Amino acid sequence: MATIAFSVPSTTTSRFAVAAESIPRDLGDLLRRTASGPYHAHITGRLGSPQLQVTREDLTTLRWDPGYVRAAGPEDRRAARTFNDAAEFAVVTAFAPITDQPRGAQVARAAAYAIAAATGGLAADLVTNHVLTPAITERTCFVLADRWLGDVLPPFRANGRCTAADPERDPEGINGCACVRLRTRGLRRFGLPELQITDVACPHDLAALNVLRTAARRLLTDHWSWLATGPTARTRTVSAALDLTHRDFNDFWGTTRRVHLTPPNPFQVTLSPLTSRLFTISPPADFDGTVNDWLWGDTLPLGMYDVLKAPADPPQAA
């Protein structure tokens, strides 16, 4: 069985920023006074350590570009523009041991949300480069669908530039274009390579996105199980053939309203290293056809074709 190996960092970094009209100079004091909920003790206990550093920055001291922060969806575009045009920021950084994930990243984001609530500001994830709206209370359980992955569905039909045939009307449309490339942004903060799927035709973009999400959740589940064994090595070897099930799909959403995927279950994807920090996803090795034949045919469970946001439970404070 083919395998692939990748290095696992001993520490990872998560960074968040809050844009507001006025950012207090003593952000530590602000968090101690205003942070509440299940992460209050974690925030106050970690403040000032590498696991939670909070700094005030303005346009004269920035070492990053607010203009790179984008909207994850059309509903966030106004908020993203407001963030891009801001002059003052609070930057929250967590430099945490790999064994402290996902808690280290959750505490940092909870701190960013607390600052946003106290200042009337807007929070953004500087790993995914997405503005985070609306600001919510960070829940204690970890749900990958809670904007951790930076997964965005591109404009269908490439914003009108794609003229490939519709596969429902013309079989040639199944492989009519290769406009879509999807890549995760955010797995690296948990010590995993990012994932990518390419050469996807526009009509198959949602299926491709859900394959990417399901594979990411499966890899993360296995990764944390591996870390729990206390490995001494910093190199991990995994099978290039990854079996995915409806449980992985539901675990991505963190939903109690289970999405029952129709057969085939499980289904398989192939992982290939493009770089040391990026894996590509493709059909199983024994699949005879293109990635679009695979995404459009009966090799995937039907639920992968129509679920974009619906199954997720609303985030709630513990």
Q: What is the dihedral of CA 58, 190, 116, 65, to 10 degrees?
A: 30
Upstream peptide bond of 167 is cis (omega within 30 degrees of 0): no
Distance, in Å, from the CA atom of 302 to the CA atom of 297, rounded to the nearest integer, reads 10
Q: What was the pLDDT predicted at 259?
A: 56
Q: How many helices (H) and strands (E) does the chain have?
A: 7, 12
pLDDT at 261 over 70: no
Distance, in Å, from the CA atom of 121 to the CA atom of 69, rounded to the nearest integer, reads 15
pLDDT at 314 over 60: no
Q: Please tell me the least confidently modeled range out of 84-88, 163-167, 207-211.
A: 163-167
Place of tokens 């995914």: 128
Q: What was the pLDDT predicted at 264?
A: 61
Distance, in Å, from the CA atom of 67 to the CA atom of 88, rounded to the nearest integer, reads 13
Q: What was the pLDDT predicted at 241?
A: 96
pLDDT at 123 over 60: yes
Convert the pLDDT of each residue in 44-65 to its tens digit: 999 999 999 999 999 999 999 9
Distance, in Å, from the CA atom of 12 to the CA atom of 161, rounded to the nearest integer, reads 39
* Token code pair at residue 222: 């296995």
Contact 190, 225 (CB under 8 A): no
* Token code pair at residue 115: 């600052």
Q: Are strands 278-282 and 194-200 parallel, antiparallel or unpaired?
A: parallel
* Token code pair at residue 79: 């908020």
Distance, in Å, from the CA atom of 232 to the CA atom of 99, rounded to the nearest integer, reads 12
Amino acid 304 reads M
Amino acid 245 reads T
Q: State the Cα angle at 16 between 14 and 22, rounded to 5°.
A: 155
Q: What was the pLDDT predicted at 318?
A: 39
Convert the pLDDT of each residue in 236-256 to its tens digit: 999 999 999 888 888 898 876
What's the chain's average pLDDT?
90
What pTM was estimated for this model as a whole? 0.92
Task: Provide, rounded to the nearest whole percent, the portion of the chain with pLDDT above 70.
Answer: 94
Contact 177, 203 (CB under 8 A): no
pLDDT at 200 over 70: yes
Average pLDDT of the segment spanning 171-199: 94
pLDDT at 317 over 50: no
Q: How far is CA 18 from CA 21, 41, 62, 113, 136, in A?
A: 10, 21, 13, 8, 13
Question: 10: which DSSP letter?
Answer: S
Q: Give φ, ψ of 226 to 5 degrees.
A: -65, -45
* Token code pair at residue 51: 């696991």
Task: Provide, rounded to the nearest whole percent, the portion of the chain with pLDDT above 90.
Answer: 70
Q: What was the pLDDT predicted at 298?
A: 80
Contact 35, 110 (CB under 8 A): yes
Q: Please tell me the least confidently modeled range out of 18-27, 29-38, 106-115, 293-302.
A: 293-302
Average pLDDT of the segment spanning 68-83: 94
Give the model's confidence band at 132: pLDDT under 50 very low, under 70 low, under 90 confident, else very high: very high
pLDDT at 1 over 80: no
Average pLDDT of the segment spanning 183-210: 95
Average pLDDT of the segment spanning 34-53: 94
pLDDT at 312 over 60: no
